[in-house]
Structure 1
Amino acid sequence: MTDLQASLIVIGGAIVVAVISYNKWQEYKAKKSVERAFSSSHDDVLMASGDAAIAVPVHAERLEPTLSGGDGSEESFAHAESAEPQDADAQHDAPVDMMPPAEERELPVDYLIDCTIPLALTTQLRGEKILPALQSLRHVGSKPVHFAGQHIDGGWEAITHGGIYKSLMAGVQLANRSNALNELEYSEFVMRLRQIADDFDADPDVPDMAEVMVTARSLHHFVTEYDAKLSVNVQSNGAPWSVTTLLAALERQGFDVRPEGRLVMPDGDGGVLFSLSTNVTLAEDTTSRLTLLLDVPVVAPERDGFGAMIACARSLSSRLDGTLVDDSNQPLSDASLNEIGGQIEIFYADMEAADIPAGSSRALRLFN
């Protein structure tokens, strides 16, 4: 080996060591920057309330608040069984297909978002006899199927063991985020329901398919129009952040890691306020961008999901030396946030007017 070759080997080795050392140093800096950002010396304002929270919404890539919930459009998908309830005495004597709306909203079967089919029983049945038969009909396609029973005292309730029922009501959901109930799903629902009815010697009052399809498509149109998700991003102003250290710090700040890998901020009542994404795969070591996402129609206005998400985004931006930007990487100004805040108020008011308030059980079923 000549002196030249030996020198080249030494130089090459020195370069490799320098590159490895540099990469390690960068990883160390990314980790330490996150650790410093979430050290105990910082106030915990990720979920601050009151004066510390900023109650304004964020940039919405899909938000187009031109929806009309107060022009009567809600009537276009109200099912035929949604007739006005009579007085208290009349409710007890109401026919099988007239479930009082005030009671229905707490029941598995919902007159507004389900195609309801009453089943008149020839004899009273106990819940323990009914329930096993219903287990075979829980879904048709992607649409859930629910049942309610009319108790012997005239009131409607979820069917339970020990209950005695004089009539039943079946309901298949008319639409969800994916699509509207279609002819094949409805036909399957009716066919399987008739089999259950035969076991109970019941007589189902099946609505016309064409009318059901029109109602289903109208409801799905509503779901499509109000399917809004708002996002805000925190973009690093300098070096990227260590993902491993960042995830551990976010968990300490209240985020939950779901089985599918999503980070979510719980609302304290079993639901989700908003989610967070690192925008990288599990194989990546660092990230330069965090995205917070709010599913608007499934979070009730009183939970202030917008304000909570913005407060969290601002806190992350401050701690991590980042900037709040929209999906086009443009900085989010207070003026634009305030403008969208007004639009969101209209959005929620329209949903309320359509009798499908954001965050309600109806909204949770439809936007699923």
Structure 2
Amino acid sequence: MSELQLSLLGIGVAVVLAIYIYNWLQQRKYRRKFSAAFKHGHEDALYRPAVKVQADELLVEKVEEAVPISISPNESQHKYAVDAMCALLDMETDFIAVISPKNPMSADALTLLWQQRFDWGKSIQVCGLNAASGEWEDVIVDSPVAYTSFKLALQLANRAGAVSEVKLMDFRKLARTIAAQLHADMVLPDVAEATARAIELDNSCAAVDLIIGLNLLPSDEHKLSGKDVSRVAEHYGLVLQADGAFHLVDEHGHTLFSLCNENNTPFQPQALDQFHVTGLTLLLDVPRVEHPSLCFDQMVVLAQQLANELRATIVDARHMALSEGSITLIRERIAAVEADMGARNIVAGSAQARRLFS
């Protein structure tokens, strides 16, 4: 390699390192700035004792659909997450078929399942009892690890509703076929009982499935571009993700709030200059965040900061300025849902909650 090539290589490495350090410092700055903004007390006018308001001022609605946010954790976090997922499997939330071959086998033994794993409309979790460690762990396609037993779990319900009896019967039939091919022992739940549990679970989750939205309406003389929104959102630590919304995430990579176009048109990174916004909505997915009441307090602060930066007003679904009473009633409603979830043995923001409300 010539001296010129070596010089160019050294310059390239230095530039990449400089960019990495700059991005790290920027991210650290945003997190500090955002955390500091959340530390001020509730002396703001929005938190003073409120007069009674009409219930229809509440910006609370039943969630019909949600797009799950995909995060890429580091290797150690991934190992913890998948093993923890196996611990979450339960007859109350999953239809679990247990297959125990005569001899330890690898993931190749489940070829039929891998071929159909996206056909059920619900999450499929496969866990294996590691022959070496004696621990249950997540099983992935082509894993060379030997397992003495497998759990094939079909989730009973999510935001799309309860799994149907037909799907459960088909899944049970598939488990039987796999067990027969392997000449394995198996334990299969009763389909009718699982169907009833699925309906009960779906009803239970539907009762607490809420999303809170605070709308930001720019003044008539102030038109917002996608670039304006992106600049301000990133200033407060929100990052544009694949679903076309800006997300603020916690230290685990889970979304705390999302900022989207009021008409649901996704933001596109390559067209922010040509994108014009008539209104924004800051969203809090109540079942999927830890301590949702406290998160709502932070959300109100963030909404005020965004409104100030964008010269906008915080309004309700009818584009009327949001009253102090509405803020108080929303928070009370969130607190009631949080308590109701606890009573149903579903902790808001837990891994189990994120499974069920996906």
Whether the TM-score (by the shorter chain) exceeds 0.5 is yes
Match of 1:265 among 229, 243, 248: 248
SS at match of 1:199: helix
Q: Which has the larger radius of gyration?
A: 1
Amino acid at match of 1:186: L
1-structure distance, mates of 2:84, 2:247: 31
Seen in structure 2, the aligned counterparts of structure 1 residues 120 and 144 have a Cα distance that, compared at 3 Å, is same
**Which ranges in structure 1 are unaligned for 5 or more consecutive residues?**
1-42, 65-102
Residue 222 of structure 1 corresponds to 204
Correspondence for 1:111: 91
Secondary structure of 1:308's partner?
helix
SS in 2 for 1:341: helix
Task: Encode CA deviations 1:209-234: one digit per residue, 9 max, x unaligned.
Answer: 22111111111112222210001112
* Cα pair 2:244 2:260 within 8 Å, conserved: no
Q: Contact between 1:297 and 1:363, CA under 8 Å: does it hold in 2?
A: yes
Identify the residue that residue 239 of structure 2 maps to in structure 1. Answer: 256
Cα contact 2:293–2:334 (8 A) shared by 1? no
Which secondary structure state, in structure 1, belongs to the residue aligned with residue 128 of structure 2?
A: strand
The structure-2 alpha-carbon separation of the partners of 1:182 and 1:63, relative to structure 1 and needing over 3 Å to count, comes to: closer
Hey, what does 2:137 align to over in structure 1? Answer: 157
User: What's 1:213 paired with?
Assistant: 195
Report how far residue 193 of structure 1 moved. Answer: 1.5
Q: 2-side partners of 1:348 and 1:173: how far apart?
A: 23
Alignment of 1:93-132 (within 5 A): 106-107=86-87, 109-121=89-101, 123-130=102-109, 132=111
Confirm whether residue 355 of structure 1 aligns to residue 335 of structure 2.
Answer: no
Residues 294 and 144 (structure 1), Cα distance of their counterparts in 2 relative to 1, 3 Å cut:
same
Determine if contact 2:215/2:317 at 8 Å carries over to the other structure: yes
Mapped contact 1:317–1:323 kept (Cα < 8 A):
yes
Whether 2:170 is the aligned partner of 1:188: answer: yes
Distance 1:336 1:63 in 2: 18
Superposed CA deviations along residues 190-246 of structure 1, whole A, max 9, x for unmatched, are 122122112221133322222111111111112222210001112223413331331
Check 1:63–1:334 CA distance in 2 against 1; reply closer, same or farther (3 A cut).
farther
User: Residues 53-72 of structure 1: matches in 2 within 5 Å?
Assistant: 59-62=58-61
What do residues 143-189 of structure 1 show as CA deviations (whole Å, max 9, x unaligned)? 12222233557653334756544332221110111121112211221
Give me the whole-angstrom Cα distance separating, in 2, the residues matched to 1:234 and 1:272.
20
| Structure 2 counterpart of 1:300 | 290
For residues 106 and 253 of structure 2, what CA distance do their matches in structure 1 show?
Answer: 29
SS in structure 2 at match of 1:195: helix
Partner of 1:141: helix, strand, or coil? coil
Say if 1:59 and 1:255 are closer, same or farther in 2 by CA, change over 3 A: farther
Alpha-carbon distance between aligned partners in 2 of 1:268 and 1:47, rounded to the nearest angstrom: 16
What SS does structure 2 have at the residue aligned with 1:187? helix
Distance of aligned partners of 1:329 and 1:47 in 2 relative to their CA distance in 1, 3 Å threshold = farther
SS at match of 2:60: coil
Using the TM superposition, give the Cα deviation of residue 118 of structure 1 relative to its aligned residue in structure 2, in angstroms: 2.1
Structure 2: distance between partners of 1:340 and 1:263: 23
* Aligned CA distance change for structure 1 residues 170 and 286 (closer, same or farther; 3 Å): closer
Residue by residue, what CA displacement relative to the aligned partner does 1:22-56 show, whole Å, maximum 9, x if unpaired?
xxxxxxxxxxxxxxxxxxxxx95597222268898
CA distance in 2, matches of 1:293, 1:357: 20
Q: 2:327 aligns with which of 306, 327, 337?
A: 337
Distance 1:219 1:265, change over 3 A: same
Closer/same/farther in 2, CA of residues 327 and 302 from structure 1, 3 Å limit: closer
* TM-score for both structures, normalised by structure 1: 0.67
The question of whether the paired residues in 1 share the 8 Å contact of 2:226 and 2:277 is answered with no
Deviates more, 1:282-291 or 1:347-356: 282-291
Match of 1:364 in 2: 354
Provide structure 2 residue ranges, at least 5 long, that are not aligned to the other structure. 1-31, 48-56, 64-82
* Greater relative contact order (Cα < 8 A, sep 6+): 1
Q: Flag the 1:165–1:45 CA change in 2: closer, same or farther, 3 A.
A: closer
Tell me how far apart the structure 2 counterparts of residues 335 and 115 of structure 1 sit (CA, whole Å).
Answer: 44
Structure 1 pair 307–236 and aligned structure 2 pair: CA distance change class (3 A): same
Contact 1:47 1:312 in 2 (8 A): no
Equivalent runs, 1:282-301 vs 2, <5 Å: 285-301=275-291
User: CA offsets, 1:269-321, max 9 Å, x none?
Assistant: 21111111233557975434221111111111179431232111111222333
Moved more, 246-255 or 147-156: 147-156
